[in-house]
Chains A and B, each alone.
Chain A
């Protein structure tokens, strides 16, 4: 339960070592660089925005080329690949990349160019295809489409928008004989015709044809259609060859994929270096790095820097106004939950890290909500296999996530055994159907069946809730004591403890309440009397003190009264834990429903196959839905009920100047 202590670090060094020092700092990744000193006549900051922009452009090019490449050559991307983590490369690979740098950028650019070219070719291809579609009906015509006539004749080539026979057209044009009508082709949408008449009749014939909705072809070509078709085919073939060649070239770049990835990482690293460079104060020969470093890493970094370079390193305690970054220090059991705290908010100034205390409740509440030993076992197996199989390469954040679900799974198994839920009641069902067992249940619950005693489960849920809330209040007390606010501790924590515990005792001494809950706690009378006195005293104390920030005594009293009304808030908080019952029952009951549906079919071999299918699919579905429910509602109980009592957050996570690559990590040669 702790945060690492931070201190300010100042590194003064010579400019000639700047590149090496920055690269060293980046690889160590222990310093968060911040602006701490002001510019003056000697020291000033420089602007590297043009370099940064070009690096950003390169990163974008690398990303785009990789995405394009992936469209042509699929990278095998199995489900487990995300567990694999980044590949490790030695430092030399980083240093030697300089020679490959420009060629790789050219390759990336070429890949983007190629994809544009392929797209253009494909567009051209489809344009030609349309032309082919237009010309096809005319293929039997042996004169060019734009034929208008000879010295004494006029020709009309075009379409009529419905089927016609030659006779019909002859009939319409009968008075302008002699003429020649050819039907080139006819379909149900159009008739392609060629009409030849004397030049003298040209206008009249055209007029009649117009009345029949005659239209000229949308293409005008001066060679016979059949020849044009051959030409078009040839063109399309040429384009197709070019497309194929381009795709082949594209595919050949597959072997440079790792270079492209490295390019992206390489420039990402350089970009961050330049971003840091912009914050540095530099004079003609000297530069200063300022920032925060965890105290534990200070000495070793100082040693390394002063041994390798002409440099001076200085430490200083953080100033009061400093917004000190937060770095957690937790054991393996609690560390997985740091991300849960982070997604609420990292600890703010002067706050303690709630992760450890939260972790106990988190796993327990999660288990209570899922509460099925079978599902828990599946979680443990899945996470365990992932953790063991990829133990060397897995990323730290993924490792923590898997660990979190591993522990949640263990808690789930525990509660599953307490309530005897193994994939619902699958053991009993199988025993009954296939082994004719009569002595059910096979495995009785270690504690009780929540379905049979929902009230007991409700009481238990609320008791867990009260414990959780009191722990939260205790954390507040601890925090107040740490700040040496003894008054606050007594007024805001001790009084509330007294009033909460005494009201719990008073409620439990009422017959009505115990009847509802179905328990008989047998509280001795002296305890009840003591609780009465404590309740009144604490209530008075709260009314008198909890409005203490107001000076006006009347206002103070009213605020105190209002604070006492906060007791109802605790009531609703405790009731909120009834979701432990509701979600726990949900898992068990749906599991039972699945098993019952399956058991209805379980007769003979075919029935058994259906039985297995229904059980597997049904339970996977149930597990998925309830995992989601358990995750969301455990978070809610932590965020709203627990954190609401003491935790505000608002801190900043420690963001060291480090290597934040996507594909590779640099392996240190020690």
Chain B
């Protein structure tokens, strides 16, 4: 039993990392595809707006990348990428918890950001000169993904220092 408790943590740690890559990734894919559909509509009207529409389309894509970062840091910390991976159950659960901010906020913010990006594409289509301002609105949403990323990074690297 004691052995089980001492070694089974790695499952939960990997689960946390996998969720962090999985869930925001799904949301980013959703968001980028929504943006792509709108962007394609704009391009049919004015092909010269391609680069700008692309920037707006890609904005909700970053959450997936942030999720990847958390997954990668977690893998590096728990030794899945090489080294020993003896992790106690409690520690594994802590890793799982540490991955949650990025997992959940990443999902929610990517989709919300896609909505804002699509609204900004409306601005782009009608007033291409106001691109600078329109870009800021979706970027405001991203703040919360960045804050979640920050907390997850700090938590994951913090958990590895705890001795349990």
Q: Which residue of B lies closest to A575 (CB)?
A: B147
Cβ of B135 under 8 Å from chain A: yes
Interface residues in A427-469 (C-beta closer than 8 Å to B): 451, 454-455, 458
- Docked Cα-Cα span, A347 to B81, in Å, equals 53
Inter-chain contacts of B140 with A (CB < 8 A): 636, 640
Taking a contact as CB atoms under 8 Å apart, the answer to whether A635 and B153 are in contact is no
**How far, in angstroms, from A451 to B77 measured CA to CA in the complex?**
11
Task: Verify A578–B58 contact, CB threshold 8 A.
Answer: no
CB distance from B134 to the nearest CB of A (A): 10
The listed residue (B72, B131, B146) touching A579 by CB distance below 8 A is B146
On whether the beta carbons of A581 and B131 are closer than 8 Å, the reply is: no
Chain A residue nearest to B134 in the complex (CB): A343
CB distance from A258 to the nearest CB of B (A): 22
Beta-carbon contacts under 8 Å, A314-349 to B: 340, 342-344
Question: Of all chain B residues, which has the CB nearest A589?
Answer: B69
1/0 contact trace for B125-145 toward A, CB 8 Å?
A: 000001111011001101100
Interface residue B95 (Cβ < 8 Å from any Cβ of A)? no
- CB neighbours of B131 from chain A (8 A): 343
A54 to B81, CA, bound (A): 71
**A570-591: which have CB < 8 Å to B?**
575-576, 578-579, 581-583, 585-586, 589-590
Query: Are B72's CB and A593's CB within 8 A?
Result: yes
A147 at the interface (CB under 8 A from B): no
Question: Looking at the complex, which one of A455, A582, A628, A632 makes contact with B66 (CB distance below 8 Å)?
Answer: A582
Q: How many residues of B contact A (CB 8 A)?
A: 29
Bound complex: CA A547 to CA B146 (Å): 34
Q: Give the docked Cα–Cα distance between A262 and B131 (Å).
A: 30
Query: Is A488's CB within 8 Å of the partner chain B?
Result: no
Instruction: Let me know if B62 is at the binding interface, CB within 8 A.
Output: yes
Nearest CB in chain A to that of B61: its residue = A625
Query: B59 interface residue, CB < 8 Å from A?
Result: yes
Residue from B58, B132, B149, B157 within 8 A of A582 (CB atoms): B149
Partner of B139 from the list A340, A582, A625, A632 (CB cut-off 8 Å) is A632
| A633 part of interface (Cβ distance < 8 Å) | yes
Which of chain B's residues have a CB closer than 8 A to the CB of A29?
A: none
Contact between B65 and A586, CB atoms less than 8 A apart: yes
CA distance A252 to B136 in the complex (A): 49
Q: Note all chain A residues with C-beta closer than 8 A to B150.
A: 458, 578, 581-582
Q: A596 in the interface, Cβ–Cβ < 8 Å?
A: yes
Which chain A residue has the least Cβ–Cβ distance from B149? A582
- Residue of A with least CB distance to B143: A576
A576 to B140, CA, bound (A): 10
13 further A-B pairs in the complex, CB-CB below 8 A; given A585-B69, A632-B135, A635-B135: A342-B132, A458-B154, A575-B147, A578-B146, A578-B147, A581-B150, A593-B72, A625-B58, A629-B62, A633-B139, A635-B139, A639-B132, A640-B140
